[in-house]
């Protein structure tokens, strides 16, 4: 931690407890008129430090804070009617009320002006920027995570975040659970404050891959006239029969046995068009029980008998 312009002895106390942890948020600040009521409670996690502080603010108190890592500040009291703040990367030019919850990105200065005497308590969560990126990247992707952690955010009505902050504050002040419990609370606060939403579900149907289709089609070698059972087709690509049937329909538009029936009628059409063989011989060559069986199946799909269809192609 690097401290500059530490104008009160109380800020030396902050330095004292921060130096006790392995992750030391590096910061620059000066503060006049803000006095710590006590040293504060703090707790370290993986790349995270949580601290609960109670502060007396004098009328006209002023502060400047700049951290090299991101942090979250959640006030347990309404403070919008007595302090103004500017979060800006260049100068304190945008004064507005302090809101109850704020996310301040790494390197972004925070100016505070207190316009009333009051005691307030707040939760500070200091996070190593690499730790925060690692936390968000699996859900968002690294580029989206890096973009998300650069945006300042504040809320006037934190809602459920306030409940989470109080639970975390209690766990920092008096630990009763495994550290994983507190780390999960931090994660929930981060995702809530940074508006990390559930991605839109992929509604496109699952399909067989071209490679899987090639394996299935390969089992229909030339001259094979018998139907291939669905369990055999499913086993070729290592799937259950029901799951294979669904993916096959998503891919081809028909169920496996219906697809085979259409394919067989297509073979009938080819022989009707390209040969002069009698219908009975075509039925035999393609594995139908007899000519009437072929004629019935052909009519169901084509809407006319094979003899009429042959004439229509001349």
Angle ∠(93,114,164) on CA atoms, nearest 5: 95
- State which residues of the chain have pLDDT below 70: 1-27, 38-40, 79-96, 197-203, 222-224
Distance CA 84, CA 243 (A): 60
Q: What is the pLDDT of residue 197?
A: 63
**Is the sign of the CA dihedral 280, 283, 288, 292 positive or negative?**
negative
Q: What is the pLDDT of residue 194?
A: 82
Q: What is the pLDDT of residues 31-51, one digit of tens each?
A: 788 888 866 688 888 888 888
C-alpha distances (whole Å) from 243 to each of 36, 72, 227, 259 are 64, 47, 20, 16
3-state SS string for 280-298: HHHHHHCCCCCHHHHHHHH
For all residues of the chain together, what is the average pLDDT? 80
pTM attached to this predicted model: 0.56
């Amino acid at each position: 931690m690097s401290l500059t312009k530490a104008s009160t002895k109380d800020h030396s106390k902050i330095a004292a407890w921060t130096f006790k942890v392995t992750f030391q948020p590096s910061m620059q600040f000066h503060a006049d008129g803000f006095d710590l009521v006590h040293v504060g409670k703090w707790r370290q996690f993986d790349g995270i430090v949580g601290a609960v502080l109670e502060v007396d603010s004098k009328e006209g108190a002023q502060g400047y804070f700049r951290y090299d890592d991101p942090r979250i500040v959640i006030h347990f009291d309404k403070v919008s009617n007595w302090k103004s703040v500017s979060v800006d990367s260049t100068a304190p030019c945008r004064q507005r009320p302090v809101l109850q919850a704020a996310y301040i990105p790494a390197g972004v200065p925070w100016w505070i002006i207190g316009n009333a005497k009051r005691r307030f308590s707040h939760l500070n969560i200091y996070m190593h920027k690499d730790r925060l990126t690692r936390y968000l990247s699996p859900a968002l992707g690294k580029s989206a995570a890096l973009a998300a952690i650069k945006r300042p955010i504040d809320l006037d009505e934190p809602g459920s975040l306030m409940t989470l902050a109080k639970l975390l504050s209690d766990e920092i002040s008096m630990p009763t659970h495994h550290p994983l419990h507190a780390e999960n609370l931090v994660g929930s606060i981060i995702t809530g404050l940074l508006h990390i939403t559930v991605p839109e579900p992929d509604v496109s149907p699952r399909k067989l891959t071209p490679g899987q289709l090639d394996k299935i089609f390969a089992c229909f070698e030339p001259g094979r006239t018998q139907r291939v059972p669905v369990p055999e087709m499913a086993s070729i690509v290592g799937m259950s029969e029901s799951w294979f049937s669904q993916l096959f329909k998503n891919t081809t538009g028909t169920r496996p046995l219906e697809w085979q029936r259409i394919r067989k009628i297509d073979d009938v059409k080819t022989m009707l068009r390209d040969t002069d063989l009698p219908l009975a011989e075509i039925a035999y060559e393609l594995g139908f029980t007899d000519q009437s069986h072929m004629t019935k199946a052909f009519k169901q799909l084509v809407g006319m008998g094979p003899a009429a269809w042959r004439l229509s192609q001349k």
